Amino acid sequence: MVLFRKLRLAGSAVIAFGLWFRFGGTMKDFSSEDKSPEYFYMGLYVLVGAGALMMAVGFFGCCGATRESQCVLGSFFTCLLVIFAAEVTTGVFAFIGKDVAIRHVQTMYEEAYNGYLRDREKGNGTLVTFHSTFQCCGKESSEQVQPTCPKELLGHKNCINEIETTISVKLQLIGIVGIGIAGFTILGMIFSMVLCCAIRNSRDVI
């Protein structure tokens, strides 16, 4: 029973982490942009979905253990297997697809940067968002895009480098969380199979 409760708590924590990462923290400003880096958020969507499934599965696991139902425990095991696959996929995606995600966001920045240089009077909200989010200004120099830079920024920071550093750290964290939760689901699968076998053996004896 304790394991099932912990599974629900872990699911709640994963959902909170995913939602905070998506709509809070460093990347929150991109939520309102027309060209938000969806590739970067893909792993977060999987995490949130897996967290919601974990909460539901934890409840069914409790019911199966209380009623000593092999059918419910078998379904519990199957759901955990799906969650395990999703979390491992998220972890692998975060580590292997890191370079692709970085290039994707850097390309978005390049487009916003060049668009601003072509028409300075028009302004560029996306470029302002980039500078505010990553606390950087321009590329090799900040002189050409200085009006779009954060006022509180001290000194020059190359946005291409800051994008790479920030996203690399974020994706590594997502990967660690995904693989960590995957390890926890393995315990749940082992426990459910042991309990299911114990119930079957007890019924055979009777």
What pLDDT, in 10s, does the model give residues 116-136?
888 876 667 788 888 888 889
SS3 content of the chain, % helix, strand, coil (to 5): 80, 0, 20
Closest by Cα among 47, 52, 73, 61 to 181:
47
Query: Alpha-carbon distance 134 to 9, whole Å?
Result: 32
Mean pLDDT rounded to a whole number for the chain: 78
% of the chain with per-residue pLDDT over 70: 79
The mean per-residue pLDDT over the stretch 149-177 comes to 86
What pLDDT, on the 0 to 100 scale, is given for residue 162? 92
Highest mean pLDDT among 24-38, 39-53, 144-158, 183-197: 144-158
What pLDDT, on the 0 to 100 scale, is given for residue 161? 93
Judged against a pLDDT cut of 60, whether residue 206 lies above it is answered with no
What pLDDT, on the 0 to 100 scale, is given for residue 170? 80
Any residues with CB less than 8 A from the CB of 174 and at least 6 apart, and which?
Answer: 21, 43, 44, 47, 90, 91, 94
DSSP for 130-195 reads HHHHHT---SS-SSTTGGGS-TT--S---HHHHHHHHHHHHHHHHHHHHHHHHHHHHHHHHHHHHH
The predicted model scores a pTM of 0.70
Highest mean pLDDT among 74-78, 90-94, 144-148, 185-189: 144-148
